[in-house]
Amino acid sequence: MSDPNVHTKKDIKEIEKIASFYNNYKPIPFGSDITKASYETYSKSLNKILGDIYTIVLPSLSKILENNNPKTPIGLLLTQLVVDNFIKEKTFIEVQLNLKEFKKRAILLELDKKIQTALGCLV
């Protein structure tokens, strides 16, 4: 995947969707105190992230895997986005750390298994 000529047009379209998720990601402020005033914003942020994971990231990863080797680890596909300059390394790391914290809290709070699985696919 590191040679841009290897990407199919279908792959590029899906890669750009995933890169957009990472490049536009707004970190969840887990360490912050959540007041009533900020709860709505916090809740919208969580819902947007989950919605984007379900409707953009996972379907796009699935399409890329279908077009290539379905046994390719998702982590390898995601890090390749950095290698191929679709995402800056710093951005990738920040998003991954925030998603990892989200997953940890999802497990602790015993959120729906679908949420835990979706987050687990990415981190």
Average of per-residue pLDDT values in the chain: 86
> What is the CA angle 20-24-30, rounded to 5?
130
Taking the whole predicted model, whether its pTM rises above 0.95 is answered as: no
Query: What are the pLDDT digits (tens) for 6-17?
Result: 567 778 999 999
| pLDDT of amino acid 3 | 46
Phi-psi region of 110 (alpha: psi -120 to 50; beta: other; left: phi over 0): left
pLDDT higher than 60, residue 60:
yes
Q: Show Cβ contacts of residue 47 under 8 Å, excluding neighbours closer than 6 positions.
A: none
| pLDDT of amino acid 67 | 86
| pLDDT of amino acid 81 | 93
Query: What are the pLDDT digits (tens) for 25-43?
Result: 998 877 766 665 566 777 7
The Cα–Cα gap between 6 and 29 comes to 38
- Count how many domains the chain has: 1
User: Which of 49, 2, 44 lies closest to 21 in space, CA to CA?
Assistant: 49
Q: What is the mean pLDDT of residues 78-106?
A: 94
| pLDDT of amino acid 38 | 64
pLDDT higher than 80, residue 51:
yes
Query: What are the pLDDT digits (tens) for 103-121?
Result: 998 888 888 888 888 899 8
Residue span of the structural domain in which 56 resides: 4-122
